[in-house]
Amino acid sequence: MDFSGCWRLVFFAILGFSCFCSSSAEKAPHYSFVKPATLAPPVSYFDYIVVGGGTAGCSITATLSNGATVLLLERGGVPYGNKNVENIGSFGVNLADVSPTSPSQGFVSEDGVLNARARVLGGGSAINAGFYTRAPPEFITRVGLDYGLVNDSYAWVERKVAFEPAMLQFQTAVKDGLLQAGVNPYNGFTFDHIKGTKFGGTIFDKNGHRHTAADLLEYADPVRTTVYLFAVAQKILFSRRELGKPRAYGVIFKDSVGILHRAFLRPGAKNEIIVSAGALGSPQLLMLSGIGPATELRFHGIEVVVDQPQVGQGMADNPMNILFIPSPIAVETSLIQAVGITEFDSFIEATSGSTNIRAFMQNLPSAAQNLASQTNSQSKERPNVITTQGDLDKALEYMHSLLNGTIHGGVILEKIAGPRSSGYLHLSTLDPNDNPAVRFNYFQDPDDLKTCVMGMQTIIKVIESEPFSKFRVPGMTIQSLINVVVNFPLNLRPRHFSTALSLEQFCIDTVLSIWHYHGGCQVNKVVDKDYKVLGAVGLRVVDGSTFYESPGTNPQATVMMLGRYVGQKILAERR
């Protein structure tokens, strides 16, 4: 071989190595492809455009980038470097923060219940309590997914974000109390959803550091991936080219200083826009883009692209009811770990530690007031809270002590599976930054109320159990614990004379959100079984808005899995 031939070999070897390095994975938080939208060009072109960098959006982006160019638009910032996001002890702070820069955006449903939606890369996984559990097998069957690919997709997620928690005293006492209350058998530590009592996974590592869906972008090809932050999608663009059906071909988005940008799909029948903006954001964006109930769209002056009356329907939120448990001894800071999965479809869980509880409760009254003032459909005056119990003063004394940091405590809660009750979502304004209006119709179905009562009865059994006794203040009655919840501004719903006396009325009046809302773009109503929007071409919705029920005790693992699952399916079709 001559000298020039040797140099050619060396040149191509160096070129091949540099190409390999340029496409090798990057580690969070040092992503070269994550940029503020102010750096976006006026016009850009990609094979796929994903709207929403949440639990589904990050996983589907990372997957698709291994076979195509992908743009991900996220309306918030990054979770990295925010101690309130990353620290297990700051969970309550984010949810109570209603500032414009908060990673969570609060809203009040028309039911008078405070709620929050994520506004950060990683979505709900960046602001939630971190519990990680797979969906029950019956859910996978009902949705019609392939078990083999589902399991592979869960494993792909778990390699980055799932951990076994340290099972300390408070959570162990809850576990033992559940078993004594009859929530059997004990299934140990598992990611699987199994009837009985278990310890589930967590996205917090052993150092209490949160790992979010944004970490799944470590799987992304950095050469083919572009992520724009503070990029608010305004509308999806359509052309009528394929058998009369509108084809999605681009997205208009606005950066943080108000400049509009346009991202278009490259020519190609397989190229698509994927909406993963969450149960509120996805139906909202479809309607703003002209896909939704024609009557409502015309009312707002929106051109009807597809008359789809099911967009925004089937909105559901799993009701949560709680009891605060002041403790005479110090307790560890813990979020959801032990869980009781009952035969009557109520899930019993717990959190502990003064830091989280105090931060959440101290900020809750002001958060409720601020959110109420932002919600036209709610009265600005709360009804008088009424109770006739003589031990109220003692209960409030312990609560004030908790807020002052002199004693510790925890919360035991119950979540209703499903639920059966559902409502609707509709546009409140034409600004995509504003929350749409939503009603969940909590306890509209009487079976949900029956389940709540049985769940609260189980919580009471756990509190009264021998294993939990050391975490209960001597002489403090169950009634006094109930009174604390009745008299604290956890929501904007009215209280009744019977609220503290009837578990049925207690469930209705003190209901909270567990932030597991879903629906609005459901399968076989708005999208088909492959999550393609009915009546349109080149458009899918992949997130919790497609669900009829919340999978298992926490949906985040399944939503992350779904992004990976659908991404794999799309790449297989592309090939």
Find out whether 200 and 191 touch, Cβ atoms under 8 Å: yes
Q: Helix 556-574 crosses helix 147-161 at what angle (to 10 degrees)?
A: 120
- How far is C-alpha 166 from the chain's CA centre? 23
Q: Is 159 annotated as a binding residue?
A: no
The answer to the question of whether 211 is labelled as a binding residue is no
Crossing angle between the packed helical segments 169-180 and 446-463, to the nearest 10 degrees: 110
Annotated binding-site residue? 308 = no
79 is in an annotated binding site: no
Q: What is the β-pairing status of strands 423-426 and 408-416?
A: unpaired
Q: What is the total residue count of the chain?
A: 575
User: For 438, which DSSP code?
Assistant: E
User: Is 177 within 8 Å of 167 (Cβ atoms)?
Assistant: no
Q: What is the rounded CA–CA span in Å between residue 552 and residue 164?
A: 18
Element spanning 348, H or E: strand 346-352
Residue 184: which residues within 8 A CB-CB, separation 6 or more?
196, 197
Mention every residue, 6+ apart, whose C-beta is less than 8 A from residue 130: 88, 91, 202, 203, 204, 210, 335, 336
Kindly give the pairing relationship between strand 70-73 and strand 225-229.
parallel
Q: Check if the beta carbon of residue 332 is closer than 8 Å to that of residue 353.
A: yes
**Residue 516 bears catalytic tag:** yes
DSSP 54: S
Axis-axis angle for helices 55-64, 556-574 (nearest 10):
30
Q: b/e map of 233-272 (b: 16 or more CB within 10 Å)? A: bbbbbbeeeeeebbbbbbbebbbeeeeebbbbbeeeeebb
Q: Are strands 338-341 and 437-439 parallel, antiparallel or unpaired?
A: unpaired
Cα angle, residue 501 at apex, residues 500 and 502 outer, rounded to 5°: 105
Query: What type of residue is 119?
Result: R
Q: What is the dihedral of CA 558, 560, 563, 567, to 10 degrees?
A: -110
* Three-class SS state of 439: strand
DSSP string, 307-336: E-TTTTEEEB--EEEEEEEEESS----B-S
DSSP label at 34? E
Q: Whose structure tokens read 């991936």?
A: 225
Residues of the chain by 3-state class (helix, strand, coil), percent to 5 = 35, 25, 40
Residue 124 annotated as part of some ligand binding site = no
Is 70 marked as a binding-site residue?
A: no
- Any bridge partners for residue 120, and if so which? 77
- Known binding residue 74? Answer is yes
- Computed over its alpha carbons, how large is the radius of gyration of the chain? 24
Buried b (16+ CB within 10 A) or exposed e, 108-120: bbbbbbbbbbbbb
d(CA 420, CA 320): 14
Q: Choose the catalytic residue: 261, 426, 496, 516.
A: 516
Decide if 40 contacts 544 (C-beta within 8 A): no
> Any known ligand binding at 556?
yes
- Residue numbers belonging to the annotated binding site for FAD: 74-75, 120, 515-516, 544, 555-556
| Catalytic positions, written as ranges | 516
